[in-house]
Structure 1
Amino acid sequence: MPLYKRSAFPLAEVPADISPNEEVFQVRFTKEIFRDYQEYLNRMKLYRQKVWTCKVTGKTNLDYEQALSSESKASELVQNFPKEFIGPVLRMVQFSPSCVSDLVDRIHKRFKDHFVEGEVLDGVCDGSVRTCKILRVLEENQECEPDNCSCSYEVAFIKSDGKVKCTDNINVQSLRRKKHPLTKCLLKSFIRESAFIGVSKKSRWAVHDNLARLHNVALHPTSEEESADGIRNGVKRKNSDDDSVESNGNNKRKKSTDGTRNFILLAGFLFMSLTDRLPGSKQKYPIEDKLLPPPSERPAPSSEFSLPAECVGHLLMVWDFCSAFATSLEITQFTLDDFEEALCSKEEECPLLEEVHHALLKAILSNTNLCEKLQVKRKDKKGKRKLQTWKDDLADVLELIGSDKTKPYASSIRLGDYSELEPLARLEILHDLTEPSASSIVVRGQLDEHIPRRKDSKKKQASPEIEDEDDDEPPVGEHLAGTNGSSKLLKSFKRYVLETRDACL
């Protein structure tokens, strides 16, 4: 059900005494029935506003029908959620105070190196890798590091015909997955579909009762959580009672007294905010970056990279290029940490690197001469580029325009051994692809569009500012101001206070 202002929206109840022959007005997508045409129009007007939120995906600025369609598509995606992970994930969601993004990151990181009962994966048996199934978790440490994890499991090794060969107790270092079973998008949709959270910042996630009972999830918080919630609720009730008493006393005040009081508070607040900017005054934070004093010492450069030092230059250059021209290259923005992790990954399929390579190749082959050479080389008349064939395209492009360092990698890439390349080799390949991409039609189009705008903005910054008409008027509080900028601030403050006083009184 779509959310309205982050809360469930109750539908109108069907009239109990409605007759079969009575003419009524029905909403097509909610099946609500109204006798009054004006009530029907008001409800339809509300449903057509862009104020609804998809409960499953969290998308905002939707009308009611769009939110329903989004929930339907997301629910179909949730049906593919691995059954063996439903119970463990729901237990981590239950009574969690974290926001959905932090909760998704924590669950994704938790099951990256931990396994659950019923999961099928690869295990080492007698020096060879075989398919096995987790029967029972013997020992599990939730806060251990991946390299020093002491978790152990009872597994059953499975033959090719599906029968159990033998059982054994092995540690986590002897188990491995082909890929992570849970994506962050799937986790986010599953959490929103299976649990709910209140509007308050102190609210906690609560799993639906039917799912909690089905998967043995606790329905009530622990005693520590109950005591913490009780203290917060008690403070909230006490404050609300004090506010009600104070509000009853304030009802006897006159309207003019309230206006004078609000004006004095507003004037004092504006004066304090302006005097904070005067020379010699103590600065309060947070402030704008332009108002920060110059640093006394240059901070130490960061060295927390997983890649070797010789790779950092190419890493920053490729990432900055992809971030600057993400719109033209039609790729999604990604962080430097994600890019570094993708380069170090040994998985056969890495969506981030696949998308970046495909986008750069597509930009390079927008050059007609190079595209014709590639078609002649491959005897391909259509010359269409597909994401599934990016490795073949990459190998052909490296053989045509690659440097002496990257051309030897073409044969390995064509054989499907891209995952075996070192991070430095991958960066050298991406570095060779960014140079011809920068001169492609796609990237040059974005540059030609933004360069005139940049020149216009520089001209506007270089033009002198228009002087204020009231420069002849002596500034208020000139004895407090040490510079012309501060005098202008106080002058603007005086003008604003006079206008505000008339409005309040």
Structure 2
Amino acid sequence: MPTFRRKRVVLVEPSAALLHAAKTRPEKEVYYLAQTGEIFETYEEYAARLSFYKLKHFQCEVSGKSNLDYFQALDSEAQEARTMHSRFPEQLKPAILKAVQWQVMGRLDHLVEAVYERFKDRYFAGERVLVEIQGDKFLARIAQVFPPRPTSPIKNNYLPHKSPSMSRRSPGPEERPCHVVLGDLKIPVKDADIDDPAAYIYKVQIIEEESGKGADSRSDKKLSAKERDAREVNRQKWSGSIMEVRCNELSRDRLSFSKSILRRFIRDCVDRDAAVASPWTVKPSIAERYGVSSEMPEETRKGVDAIKRKESDKRRKVFDDKEGPPSKKRKSEEGPDAVPPLPVPSPVKVEEVKKEKKKPIRYPTEDLDIRLTDKEIKSGMKVRRPTPSRSTLPFGEDPAAFEGFLMSYNFLCVYGQILHLSAFTLDDYEHALRHSLQHPVQLIYEIHSTLIYNLRTVPFERHSAVVSLLNSKDAEPERCLGVTIDQLTAAMADIGNNWERVPLRHSEQREGWEDALVGCLKDHATTSDFPRLREILTRLLFAPDISIDSPSSGESPSAASSPPPTTLSVPSTPQERYHTLPPADKIAILSFMCGLAVSSKTIHAHMEACEESLTALRKEKIEVNRTKKQLLEDMATLLGEAQEVVESAEANGGEQSDHPPSASEESEAVASRKKPKKKAQGGSAKQREAARAKMTAAKQALAERRRLDEEVNKLERRLEGIEREFRKLFGAIRVKPMGRDRFYNRVWWFDGMGSASLLGSGGSVQYGTGRVFVQGPSEFDVLLLEKVEGDLAARRRDEEGEEGVLGVGQWAVYENVDEVEQFIAWLNPKGVRELALKNAMTKWWTHIAPGMRKRAADLETHAKLPDARRSQRKSGGIGELGREPYMQWINRRASSGA
């Protein structure tokens, strides 16, 4: 069975409603997944399960191959099983399966080890083996097995069958059954003298083979021509011979029997329940094929029950020991000489004596079980979390618009390289979507054009939007913004019909992208998967009547200066109408297109390339850490050697070795010259020379240590680079929050993922969002919170503040570095979730804080006065608006051919 995150994939059982419908309404239509046999009631369930199976996250349980989808893993397991069963000796299968049936062993490895030790020197009639004769191995088949007699001596190696003495000593197989201890693995091999494998005698026949196809043909290639000729002579000499040998002359081919092959065979044939001390059991179909009994013998059942009771008692004892001191022994256990307990003075004191001992808490633990003590509060730990802002969220007044805005931004930045989009900030993206003047914004038309190019490779149905609009005519209102569905479909007929062939060249300012956008929506969107389709297309293809909805004199028509008209009646073009769309409609279009683009081949190929790069990075990280550890050990050794040299030099007067000798030393030197022996002066010189040598060695050791320290610094910088690259690549596969706090609020930081970079040229700081977002708990997390004892709502108000409590689907943001620092200080590392969150934020703090400061500085630099903005709108021109960062953005990644 394929595994997902090291757990076997459990197939979905039919729901109770489906089982009931199978009896009462057999004609009911369902969705059937043929590869697995699963049945689903709705298409959404079927599609979700199929999408899960197509993820490249499964692993073949037999071979260990990973990065497969479910069906590839199934095929791999089937192929590996066929190969393994064809190689594994057929004669061993029933014996091994009977041996492992009902065995109680905790791990499969232990079971494999026991079976291997029991069977490695035991052979069966009909089995193909290798027999060693005069240093060469020949392929043979076992013709007959002779069990040992109780008094049979263990001697002789291989003996020709024609030896009469051997034939007389060979016991007949009818005298005693073969391998009588195989079925009981609990008997140790060393204690199995009653059935010693070394005392067995095997009658084998050498099998004739063509040259180059023998069992040892692989080793023949490594021999010289003379050695191969000699081996060929021996092969011809012994070919077809029959002889009697013992197990020390026999062996099996490693491709047919080894611990790894045995493990695969056992894992493919047996199973075990999850209960404590459950025995290994052979799968019913395999047991029936090989004649293995599937009914547990009563004696075995009693043994298994005894093991289960023993294991349960053992666990209960461990639990009781952790809970508190053992209970008092009964008088019968204490003995007759036991001293009776003192009488209890009063019932009140009995309760005091029986106070339970508190179980020590092991940290980290469940976050909601932790309460700050008075000592921790006095030491300065934060009691209340700083309140994140909801008012400064982009499009925060509409939660759906904000989530679509954030999702589309993350998609465009993560896949910017393959979409040929240069990086841009979240602020630039927001301002570009809020832009309501007809002057073109390069960021907007570059984003739409690259998505249109990408969606050309995604399968679509012609005029799907028109068909869905006509089908929904009865369920929809007659008019939307004053336009009927018939009027809308008529206006759509001649726009964007060749959208998949429009060039949209960068050098031509992507001319025609608005019409191509409408054509893309016509062929990809339906009212079911894009609910706002009718309203958006109406706004793109119809304009208000100027005579009715004209703006005041002196002002340009702008969605920012006046509310959008409620009635549209004049046919128009997307080029004239796109800039008047409300930001929520622009976000809805981009969210829909990004959702479709995820399924494109380009995105999928990029994801697979990122997976491969992540694997390479993991290997590189292991090697760098290994090298760094070795260098640190070498540095510690050099430092110790240098310290020893310095201490030795100081002890031997090494500090004076570099100075001239004193007057007393000179007088002693003169006196020593008059004596026959001249060792004093020489001894002092030798000491100074030795000291100098030691100091030189110490200096060399310190120099080498400095060199190694530089190497370690290089490796540390490389590790930091690997972490940044890992974040970029992992962000292209899936986006995960940094963690969750005690109340299951999710904390997000979107910078540095995909094509976005945290560092620019020369190590300059770069940011994308420059903010830390907080998202309320999910619906599943809310269910967990409801199970918490006590008044959780009051606790959340106390620790998060009245305005800080976030519900399902609610977002807030931290824009100030000080607020994030206070938030990190509020996190309690005694909790499991907050410890992981605090570690993650501390790890990336050197990038989070500079990015937030850089954004704050940029906002201050580009701040504009309200009067300047009003004068710009009144003039109807661009004016100062052209200096806004989002207007100055240039797509440097644009493809020259498009």
TM-score norm. by structure 1 comes to 0.40
TM-score norm. by structure 2 comes to 0.25
Structure with greater Cα Rg? 2
Question: Which structure would you say has the larger RCO, counting Cα contacts within 8 Å and 6 or more residues apart?
Answer: 2
